[in-house]
Structure 1
Amino acid sequence: MKQRDQWGTRLGFILAAVGSAIGMGNIWRFPYMVYENGGGAFLIPYFVAVFTAGIPLLILEFGVGQRHAGATPVTFRSLNKRWGWIGWWQLLVCFVIASYYVVIIAWSFSYFTLSFNLGWGEDTSAFFFKEYLHLSDGPFSMGGIQWQILAPLAMVWLTCWGVLICGVKKGIETANKFFMPALFVMVILIMARAVTMPGAVDGLSWLFKPDFSALGNIKVWAAAFGQVFFSLSIGFGIMITYSSYLSGESDINNNAFMTAFINCGFSMLAGIMIFSVLGYMAAQKGVPIQDVVSSGVGLAFVTIPQAINFMPGASFIGVLFFLSLLFAGVSSMISICEACIAGILEGFKISRKAATTLFCGLGFVVSLVYATGAGLYVLDIVDHFINTYAVLLGGLIEVVLLSWFFDLESIREHVNRTSDFLVGQWWSFCLKFFTTFVVAYMMVMKCVGDITTPYEGYPSSALGAYGWAVVAVLPVLAIVLSKCDLLGRKE
């Protein structure tokens, strides 16, 4: 029997885990979350969430992944033979996320090439939505494949295929040893330039000025936990898969703390970088900072390009910014793909080359939907429903099953056995009560919100087709796959 892949070094695993956690959302979502939810005061619930949910969940996933040495279907089936379908569910969630996340990376690739001559022009909004995306009138008006998106989309898939086909040590580890240091260097370079420009201090003041009254709002606390949950790639199989390649002597607790802290540190750097740039743009335009603040794709592909236009050395800054987005996106994309590929090659006993080619080929075909004129609409709806009802629900089921219906104490003993420092009962308490309650609360509140107010005003038919239907079909497919995979049929 062929020996299972393992990480070559501890540093390689840490950089890969950090590469998964640090994605484009750290750059375009975290700064806005801080700004919108109490400024500097938001850091209090944020770090509470890191210590009571983020790190405990990382330790849990690192522990069970290393202990059972398999992708999520194998891991959950090892815990309980009736739980295998949960692992397949998480892999299907990863597949859906990969199918649209790759398109945003493709946009970043396009903007990286545009940065050399500031090809987005003066009206960055019109360029992005009309000239680049050719955004249609609605989510059902596809408008055909946009060829300027298709080419970078194919290149990103080919890059991921090339890395993943080389395996864990030669492919994923080697790639992240390049991507992560380069990403930090680029962000620090942009930040160092941005903080010296006129208006940067005003931008940082808006970002970090504390509004302690926000701490009395439970929605602010839910936002903090949501940011930590999604930022650390927990709850949908990635960290379980990555930790399954660890040796039996690996320091689980230390690895979890390091991954969480490096991710937090990068988020803070990104926040300083973004709001320094926004502060400078506001000063140049003579408008309040709140008039230029935005989040998500609008920040990355409309606001930031507009800000870059005002900056000295604009082309160089643009190249660095979009290359950093590209590196952050690809490193996360690789981890999402690997979670699925590991499940396929273990469940159906095929080679890594076959599993990688099958996954990337199918993923490329599905991702073409997001390269149409309606792609942004479809992406927005699918992303919202997947993150709200698939990722959160999958994470909640995982925490409840492992905390309440499995011997959690045995996992704590396992992670403590090889770690430099031990985790105590606080870890079990956080998982059983604190994390379970918060994740359940977030999901219920989001569900109530979607029922009472249609998401972003989309027609109910679009929300049903691209949202509810996609979420509903995943557990059904997961059960089918759990009955078909070879390991499950042997039991």
Structure 2
Amino acid sequence: MNKSSQWNSVVTFVVAMVGLTIGIGNIWRFSYVLYNNGGGSFFIPYFMAIAVMGVPFLILEYGLGFSLKKSFSKLMHDIRPEFEIFAWMIVLLVFIVVIYYMVILSWDLVYLFNSFNFGWGADTASFFTNNVGGNSDLSSPIGIVVPTFIGIIVLWVIFWFISNHDVNDGIGMVSRVLMPMLFIIMLFIFLYSFTLPGSKVGLYALLNPNWNALLDIRVWLAAFAQIIFTLSIGQAMVYTYATYLNEDARLIDDVVMVVTANSLYEIFIAVGVFSILGYMSVSSSIPIDLLVTDGSGLIFVVFPQIFNSMGFIGHILGPLLFLSILFAGITSSFALFEPLLSSILDKFGWSRKKGVTILSIIACICSLIFATSIGSHLLELVDSFVNEFAILILIAIQSVIFSWYYGVEKVMPALNKLSKFKVGKKWKFTLKYILPIIIIVIWVYGVVGLFSEADLLEIIVDLVITFGVLGLSIFFTKFNSTNS
């Protein structure tokens, strides 16, 4: 691993880490999860998931990366050679995420350019289908969606240019610029949303607690799944960023800062989103439950409708919203790309420029597969399998490996050295027993949901990803064993 790569300050690292955790999922995912899982009562399992799983595992990843300064594949190999295959599976799956992440950002880029003149027209659903994401109609001829195709290429070229630089001059510099701008933009949207007539209707719909929901195991599972998703735990991204830390880092304190910033951000976004949804509900007499959708439907169909009804102010809020999504997505995409890059550089001894160039070309070509008339449907299938099945079980495996085989007590001195907050036996017990059990339960629940209604295309996609990732992981592992 290139040990000359290092954050020039703790501030740069923390800002980059906030950029890692704050992504497009915070903007559209959390508000939907909060609304559908008990409203205000959901904060109880949400904060418990942060305390039991989010913070403990992040602390572990910080400690491992800071102490060992090696790629994730090398770490797993050194613990036990046969464990290296799990490392490659993780970094390859995370690399798949950045492949389709860029597709979503290309959609956002198209909407950003159209937001100034409301180029999506009155029928926002048809605009998304015909000009951006396509549909799920497999009987129709599959063609290229040109705006998405162009957007993907543009974004990967920008990404390649930035990532070619050292982590501090590239990722660090971009994070230092974009993250403050992101917070300023979203603060404006957040404050303005309260001035809209009907905002209280949206807030009541979002935060009205359903205490009976706390008796539903699915609500608790949703809370833990949200924390895995939003904090990117166990996906080698946090670990990789921590390897670039210098010796004066206060590791546990930094974890607390990052988790706090991430939670405040997604809560504020949810409040702003539902304030605006309340406005549309009142102004259009449409019940708010009919406006609430997850994923692309909320951002790329419902919100353009809202901006259409706002008139002049919509021409301001629209560009700001899509610009904030772009900023959040770009900073997160660097973190998704870095684990595989780090492991590849360590494996083959390539320069950073060579590694970034080769992986960017491969990723761009793969991203273009989603720039088709069935792109959005294909993306949903890949995202569902990667996040709800593949990555989840590998997080549980990591927890077992680090707790039972490596020994988390080895990193405790480094964690406690400069930090105001300390870790001890309770932290170790959580990682060793509580965390694996919780994640395995979530994984089983996710598997049941994933395959209960799977069609032929979904099964094919799942099998291609499984055998592709497994095959490449075996190849990289065998390559290492013959060259160690």
TM over 0.5: yes
TM-score (norm 2): 0.97
2:76 aligned partner: 76
Residues 274-423 of structure 1 aligned to structure 2 (within 5 Å)? 274-312=273-311, 313-423=313-423
Matching residue of 1:199:
198
Q: Is the 8 A contact 2:199 2:275 kept in 1?
A: yes
CA-based RMSD of the aligned residues comes to 1.6
**Partner Cα separation in structure 2 for residue 51 and residue 2 of structure 1:** 34
Range with bigger deviation, 65-74 or 38-47? 65-74
Cα contact 2:12–2:172 (8 A) shared by 1: yes
Paired position in structure 1 for 2:460: 465
8 Å contact kept, 2:131–2:145: no
User: How far 1:112 sits from its partner (Å)?
Assistant: 0.4
Structure 1 pair 476/218, CA: closer, same or farther in 2 (3 Å)? same
CA contact (8 A) 2:384 2:450 kept: no
Report how far residue 144 of structure 1 moved: 2.4
Q: How does 1:82-481 map to 2 (within 5 A)?
A: 82-135=82-135, 137-138=137-138, 143-312=142-311, 313-451=313-451, 453-455=452-454, 459=455, 461-481=456-476
Determine the C-alpha separation between the residues in 2 that align with 1:368 and 1:247. 38
The answer on whether the counterparts of 1:71 and 1:237 sit within 8 Å (CA) in structure 2 is no
% identity of equivalent residues = 34
Q: Please give the per-residue CA displacement for 1:22-74, whole angstroms capped at 9, x wherever unaligned.
A: 11110101001111000010011000001110000100111111111122112
Higher deviation after alignment, 99-108 or 88-97: 88-97
Quick check: 2:136–2:376 contact (8 Å CA) kept in 1? no
Inter-partner Cα distance in structure 1 for 2:217 and 2:132: 39
Paired letter, 1:471:
T
Q: Which residue, 465, 478, 484 being the options, matches 1:483? A: 478
Paired with 1:186 and 1:226, the residues of 2 have a C-alpha distance of 28
Change (3 A) 1:153 1:118: same
Q: CA deviation at 1:169?
A: 0.7
Q: CA deviation at 1:187?
A: 0.6
Counterpart Cα distance in 1 of 2:259 and 2:357 = 32
Letter in 1 for 2:235: F
1:24 corresponds in structure 2 to 24
Cα deviation for residue 99 of structure 1 reads: 1.2
Q: Give the Å deviation of 1:94.
A: 1.6
Is the aligned partner of 1:58 residue 2:58?
Answer: yes
Q: CA deviation at 1:438?
A: 1.1
Report the 3-state secondary structure (helix = DSSP H, G, I; strand = E; otherwise coil) of the residue aligned with 1:405: helix
Match of 1:15 in 2: 15
Q: Report the CA distance between 1:490 and its aligned residue.
A: 4.0
Whether the aligned pair in 1 keeps the contact of 2:399 and 2:432 (CA below 8 Å) is yes
Shift of 1:142: 6.2
One-letter amino acid of the structure 2 residue matched with residue 221 of structure 1: W
Contact 1:68 1:78 in 2 (8 A): no
Structure 1 residue 304: deviation in Å?
0.9
- Separation in structure 2 between the aligned mates of residue 198 and residue 70 of structure 1, nearest angstrom: 54
Report the Cα offset of residue 76 of structure 1: 1.6
Q: Which moved more, 1:105-114 or 1:77-86?
A: 77-86
* Matching residue's letter, 2:166: G
How far apart are the structure 1 equivalents of 2:53 and 2:124? 39
1:405 Cα deviation (Å)?
A: 2.2
CA deviation after TM superposition for structure 1 residue 3, in Å: 4.2
> Deviation of residue 331 (structure 1)?
0.7
Q: State how far apart, in whole Å, the 1-side matches of 2:438 and 2:3 are.
A: 40
Give the alignment's TM-score, normalised by structure 1: 0.95
The alpha-carbon deviation at position 284 of structure 1 amounts to 0.6
The answer to whether the 8 Å contact 2:385/2:450 transfers is no
**How far apart, in 1, do the equivalents of 2:32 and 2:2 lie?**
47
